[in-house]
Amino acid sequence: MATIVRTPAGTYRAQVRRRGVSKSATFARKLDAQAWAAGMESAVGTTIGKITPPASMTLADVIDAYVEQVPIGRTAKFNLTRIKAIIGDTSIKNLSGVTMTKYVDMRLSEGITGATLAGDLSILSSALKWASTVKQLDIHANIAADARAGLTSRRISTRSKERDRIPTDDELARIYATLEDNPRQIIPVAQIARFAAISAMRLAEITGIQIENIRWNEGAVFLVARKHPTRKDRNDQLIPVPPEGMDILRQVVGDRSSGPVWPYDPRSVSTAWRRACKAARITPEVRFHDLRHLALTRLAALGLSTPLLRAVSGHTDLKSLSRYVNLSPNDFHKALNKARSQVD
């Protein structure tokens, strides 16, 4: 019989007693201790030669080990934490299609979209496949992937709706005024928003700008580990910033030589922005991320080429970039008239 005990040092001690023989070992991770104990008990899968997980191992154990040992993004961690809260206490040996169906039904009853649900199942699938291939656990590795594929059979759309909300100058003026007229507003949210509407940077990128990473002579900012849809390694990029954006940086930095330009939690900035939108009675709501759409649309309307737009946005493919550029017929006619005047 195997027992797993957490030691005062925070490690996990696994002990196996069988036929009068006792074996024990200490591991830094609980999942490794459980896998070792199962192997010592000779609990080997009869069909594929993998280790049969002990009855005490839960889905939460697998998720915790995956998050600890595999570098994943903030969104993936958040999704796995949510999954763990709902079905994490399920024994990994008893994880079945019924479990997945219950999870899907529960999440749909909460009103989430098919795209969000598909994201949940995709990251769970990655965790289960990791446990199967890396930890050699004999589990249903494809069960979450099958549940995701089943969404289509249930006619649940997994495509996210492309957002094309571009705030008007009047809406922005009202939001900025609401923020700047609020005596309790300590964070300079309007200033940060103006920079976002010029630079096309994400909020977390803006609050992550370090003064020492500003290339004043080049008119650019060096961003460390910029978000990327597929790359999990460091995605450092040198991002060009329009002159108006560099002027804002100079104003904010002053005579400082190091540290963050805006030392604020992006969540606090986002909360203040939403409150200002509500107070200014902006409908439909303007999200802070819509400022990124606005900036890229303005740059595209000026005639910047696709490679230059991608240098600003950080997108690696045209399809992703096109979701952020929302040109109007008026933009087309302005560009056409400008081109014709140059020819004449």
pLDDT in tens, 184-217: 999 999 999 999 999 999 999 999 999 999 999 9
Buried/exposed code over 141-151 (b: 16+ C-beta within 10 A; e: otherwise)? bebbbebbeeb
Which of 69, 43, 74 shows the shortest CA–CA distance to 56?
A: 43
**pLDDT for position 71:** 87
**What's the pTM?**
0.58
Strands 237-240 and 220-223: antiparallel
Cβ partners under 8 Å of residue 167, min gap 6: 175, 282, 286, 290, 291, 294
Mean pLDDT rounded to a whole number for the chain: 84
- State the Cα–Cα distance between residues 61 and 104, nearest whole angstrom: 21
What the block records as the tokens of 343 is 């020819």
CB atoms under 10 Å from CB of 299, counted, come to 18
Q: Is the pLDDT of residue 231 over 60?
A: no
Question: Which residue type sits at 243?
Answer: P
Taking phi over 0 as left and psi of -120 to 50 as alpha, with beta for the rest, 327 belongs to beta
In terms of phi and psi (left: phi > 0; alpha: psi -120 to 50; beta: otherwise), the region of 312 is: alpha
Question: Distance (Å, rounded) from C-alpha 344 to C-alpha 136?
Answer: 71
CB proximity list for 164: less than 8 A, separation 6 or greater: 293, 326
Check pLDDT > 70 for residue 260: yes
Q: What is the pLDDT of residues 162-181, one digit of tens each?
A: 667 889 999 999 999 999 99
Query: What is Dmax (Cα atoms) for the chain?
Result: 97
Q: What is the pLDDT of residues 268-294, one digit of tens each?
A: 999 999 999 999 999 888 999 999 999
In the block, tokens 């928003």 appear at 193
Position 80 pLDDT exceeds 90? yes
- Residue 161's identity, in one-letter code, is K
pLDDT band for 315, please (50, 70, 90 cuts): low
pLDDT-based confidence at residue 101 (cuts at 50, 70, 90):
confident
Residue-level pLDDT at 45: 41
Distance CA 189, CA 195 (A): 10
Task: Reply yes or no on whether the pLDDT at 228 is more than 50.
Answer: yes
65: left (phi over 0), alpha (psi -120 to 50) or beta: alpha
Helix axes 243-253, 189-199, angle to 10 degrees: 150
Give 43's pLDDT tier (boundaries 50, 70, 90).
very low
Sign of the torsion angle spanned by Cα atoms 126, 59, 113, 108: positive
Domains, in order of start, for the chain: 44-153 (1.10.150), 169-343 (1.10.443.10)
Integer Cα distance of 18 and 155 in angstroms: 51
Q: Is 60 exceeded by the pLDDT of residue 19?
A: no
